[in-house]
Amino acid sequence: MASADMAAMATDLPLQGITVMVTRPAHQAAPFCRMVEAAGGQALRFPVLAIGDPSDVDGLDALIDRLDEFHLAVFVSPNAVERTMHRIQARRTLPPTLQLATVGIKSAQALARFGHQVDICPPNRFDSEALLETPELQDVRGWNVVIFRGNGGRELLGATLTARGARVTFAETYRRGIPDADTGQLLHQWSRGDIHVITITSAEGLRNLYAMVGQAGRLWLRDTPLVVGCGRMLDTARELGFTRTAVVADDPSDESMLVAVQKWAEKRNQTHE
């Protein structure tokens, strides 16, 4: 093949010859994997978060039964939407006076699949800080707010809304955990230099990956380039001893993560020329 043709192929397929580790939960990984493969890359699925049932199902159902008491429901992630809406639809309809808010556009799209339009969603920067900057949430005095989320998580959203005068209830609608995974094949590919970049969208997921690969894999892990979903993850990466500065996507959506991976690949190709 002529060099000009090879250059054209590289332009058309920016991830040609690159293996991207995809760490999204197993049930959410397929769309991003298809995008990586369409760009010429190889997607290596290795989920670092397992999504399970909440610890108090009865308590969640009881809260759902009294949603009429709330002014606003906030969904922090697509998982929160999926897990909560399935339980709501099994018991009741959403109160017509209940406003719906999401931290990001993917959660808003998930709500739309259940037939509900989101009322409050930040236009960009899909995180708690961006949601708190929306005009609708500046004066929430006297509001009853329920925040649907996984176990644990950041307290910023609830603490800030409380400081602004709202009464906040947290509802655990799913639990995150470490998947039961066989790392043997992963370590084998690392030993061959066949893993070029890792995509990861949460600090918890990065910590899980660090734990999952064990002592044997951490040297390879720390030396593998990272593409992360938010700037806060840089502190976690440094804390865990990563030797390269991670590439930060504009947000953790599939589209933004792919753009960030392609930017990393472009710089890599320029270095190798």
My answer on whether 57 and 173 are in the same domain is yes
Whether 7 shows a pLDDT value over 80: the answer reads: no
129 lies in the same domain as 196:
no
Q: What is the model's pTM?
A: 0.82
Total tally of structural domains belonging to the chain:
2
Question: 126, 142, 177: which is the final residue of a domain?
Answer: 177
Say yes or no: 157 and 170 in one domain: yes
Residues 94 and 136 in one domain: yes
Q: Where is the domain boundary, 161, 177, 193?
A: 177
Same domain flag for 106 and 11 = no
Residues whose CB is less than 8 angstroms from the CB of residue 249 and which lie 6 or more positions away in sequence, other chains included: 227, 228, 229, 230, 256, 257, 259, 260
Give yes or no for residue 8 having a pLDDT over 70: no
Give the pLDDT score at 273. Answer: 52
The pLDDT value recorded for residue 2 is 45
Q: pLDDT for 9-67, tens place per residue?
A: 445 799 999 999 999 998 889 999 999 999 999 999 999 999 999 989 999 999 999 99
DSSP string, 20-50: EEE-S-GGG-HHHHHHHHHTT-EEEE----E
Is residue 194 domain-shared with residue 162, that is, in the same domain? no
Contact 139, 123 (CB under 8 A): no
Please say whether the beta carbons of 82 and 108 come within 8 A. Answer: no
Same domain flag for 95 and 169: yes
Q: Which domain holds residue 20?
A: 3-49+179-272
Q: In terms of domains, do 245 and 257 share one?
A: yes
pLDDT of residue 3: 45
Q: Where is the domain boundary, 177, 195, 215?
A: 177
Mean pLDDT of all residues belonging to the chain = 91
Burial of 19 (0-12, 13-18, 19+ CB in 10 A): middle
Same-domain status, 57 and 149: yes
Same domain, 106 and 41: no
